[in-house]
Amino acid sequence: MENYRLVPVVSMEELEMQLEALAVQINRDYEGKNPVVVGVLKGAFVFMADLVRRLSFPLEVDFVRLASYGTESETSGVVRITKDVEIPLKGRHVLIVEDIVDTGTTLAWYIERLREQEAASVKICALIDKHERRKVPVPLEYVGISIDKGFLVGYGLDFSEKFRHLPGIFEVEFMK
């Protein structure tokens, strides 16, 4: 990771506008429901923090950490929970907050698990939808940004645990 440059893709101002638009939709849809907002660690933590501060209804927050990539850049297809939610979800409305949805494999597996736990409803809010990479259909009710390609970092997204702190989203361009 020595020869690269970071190319701005989404500014913090653009992210703020998307957060406001998402909050309007989510506030409308969840009014009176007291949902559990489940952030998928680690990538979604910045996005989720900014999002929940814009929500105007009672809610609870929890986190899950799912592993399907290991040290590879492509999913293995085998999903493991390395940190599970602690709030009982039976009968609860669940809003999953995810950083990027690409192949959909991991998220589809987790949605099925939540249905087995008898959640009243499960919806997904994704910061970034990479629909072109989708291998498994996943219903995304709330999407901040659709981006076709590129290796993205910043605003919680990382490369080998680096760059999560950057304001805005950047594409990593590797130099030859």
Decide if 50 is catalytic.
no
Helices (H) and strands (E) in the chain, counts: 3, 9
* Element at 15 (helix H, strand E): helix 12-30
**CATH of span 4-174:** 3.40.50.2020
Indicate the domain borders of the chain: 4-174
Q: Which of 29, 84, 102, 129 is catalytic?
A: 102
Question: Phi and psi dihedrals of 90, rounded to 5?
Answer: -60, 125
Q: Please name the residues in contact with 64: beta carbons below 8 A apart, sequence gap of 6 or more.
A: 38, 39, 40, 41, 81, 83, 84, 85, 110
Q: What is the pLDDT along the chain (176 residues), one digit of tens a residue?
A: 578 999 999 999 999 999 999 999 999 999 999 999 999 999 999 999 999 999 999 999 999 999 875 544 555 568 889 999 999 999 999 999 999 999 999 999 999 999 999 999 999 999 999 988 889 999 999 999 999 888 999 999 999 899 999 999 999 999 87
